[in-house]
């Protein structure tokens, strides 16, 4: 059996991204169990869930990288696209019961998830945190002075957070701009309910 357990080694220290990674590891593990048990319906179900959640997660990271003007965006995107192409290529074969294709997909997923989370996503997350710190420093430098008029034209990542009113925020929730700290709080609450 291949190893699909999220651990501290995979942690990138952005709560929302870590929660999405844990979800992908869980689905890959369920897929592996369905493949091992020759459960065709479950294989199809977990495969579709994996493809949908992976796409949502990749799009989220790509939005985040663009919003903080991440310089290694192209390199990171290329890795997402490799995973997209591999899933697209192997999914129909796995669905039609090709056990060799299922093995190839699980092998690919195990290596890709490990390398991508421990290196590529960690680099991205470090850049995001530094971007936050730089903006927080600018905000402190303006302490006590009225917000300049050009605040309205700031990139959307540094508008006010809906939850705590901090104006160094990342708009990474569908409902509106929410800063990473508030996202972390709400994700922890979500996880506590599991
Ligand atoms: Fe990524």
pTM attached to this predicted model: 0.74
Ligand 1 centre and the CA of 182: distance in Å? 22
Ligand 1 centre and the CA of 127: distance in Å? 13
Ligand 1 centre and the CA of 77: distance in Å? 7
Ligand 1 centre and the CA of 4: distance in Å? 17
- Mean pLDDT by 10-residue block, N- to C-terminus, for the chain (194 residues)? 93 89 96 96 97 93 87 96 97 95 97 96 91 72 59 48 59 54 56 42
| Per-residue pLDDT at 182 | 66
**CB 121, CB 22: distance < 8 Å:** no
Q: Among residues 119, 111, 159, 152, which one has the least CA distance to residue 135?
A: 159
Ligand 1 centre and the CA of 140: distance in Å? 31
Ligand 1 centre and the CA of 94: distance in Å? 24
Q: Which residues of 63-87 are buried (b: 16+ CB within 10 A; e: fewer)?
A: ebbebbebeebeebbebbeebeeeb
């Amino acid at each position: 059996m291949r190893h699909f357990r999220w651990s501290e080694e995979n942690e990138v220290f952005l709560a929302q991204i870590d929660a999405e990674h844990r979800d992908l590891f869980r689905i890959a593990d369920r897929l592996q169990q369905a493949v091992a048990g020759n459960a065709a319906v479950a294989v199809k179900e977990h495969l579709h869930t994996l493809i949908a959640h992976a796409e949502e997660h990749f799009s989220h990271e790509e939005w985040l990288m663009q919003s903080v003007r991440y310089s290694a965006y192209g390199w990171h995107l290329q890795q997402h696209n490799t995973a997209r192409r591999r899933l697209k290529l192997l999914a129909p074969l796995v669905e039609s019961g090709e056990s060799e294709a299922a093995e190839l997909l699980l092998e690919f997923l195990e290596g890709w998830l490990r390398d991508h989370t421990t290196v590529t996503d960690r680099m991205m997350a470090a850049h995001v945190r530094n971007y936050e710190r730089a903006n927080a420093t600018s905000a402190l430098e303006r302490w006590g002075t009225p917000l300049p008029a050009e605040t309205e034209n700031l990139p959307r990542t540094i508008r006010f957070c809906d939850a705590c009113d901090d104006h160094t925020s990342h708009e990474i929730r569908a409902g509106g701009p929410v800063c990473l700290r508030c996202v972390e709080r709400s994700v922890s609450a979500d996880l506590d309910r599991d």
